[in-house]
Amino acid sequence: QVQLVESGGGLVQAGGSLRLSCAASGRTFMHYSVGWFRQAPGKEREFVAAIDWSGDSNTRYADSVKGRFTISRDNAKNTVYLQMNSLKPEDTAVYYCAATGFHGTYFRVGEYTYWGQGTQVTVSS
């Protein structure tokens, strides 16, 4: 069982940066692959980034965030990060982290077992 708690969201101007954190309980977090998703009002939840349990060398990004967002993990701290730079108003959404016990970088909502409650990110123009 893994419990996930996101933090770091907030209000930022376009062009600014935020770093989201996904803190996990459980002593075996290093064996979970993690993804970040987001959901804007009236829209479906969409994939943002994913990182394999093996570490920062195996990551995947949505085209809309590639080059602006970076996912990383610190297994010693049971935490996965999402560094978001050059933020745009269209990045406004609730951001969720999710975890799966399978090896890989998954981009479908249904491939993840555990979900956090989300953190709001608002980018003003």
Q: Say which residue the tokens 């969720």 belong to.
A: 96
**Count of other CB atoms within 10 angstroms of residue 58:** 14
Which structure tokens are listed for 32? Answer: 């979970």
Residue 27 has a pLDDT of 60
Residue 38 has a pLDDT of 98
**Count of other CB atoms within 10 angstroms of residue 33:** 23
Segments in the chain below pLDDT 50: none
**What is the C-alpha to C-alpha distance for residues 33 and 31, in angstroms, rounded to an integer?**
7
DSSP code, position 57: T
Residue 15 has a pLDDT of 98
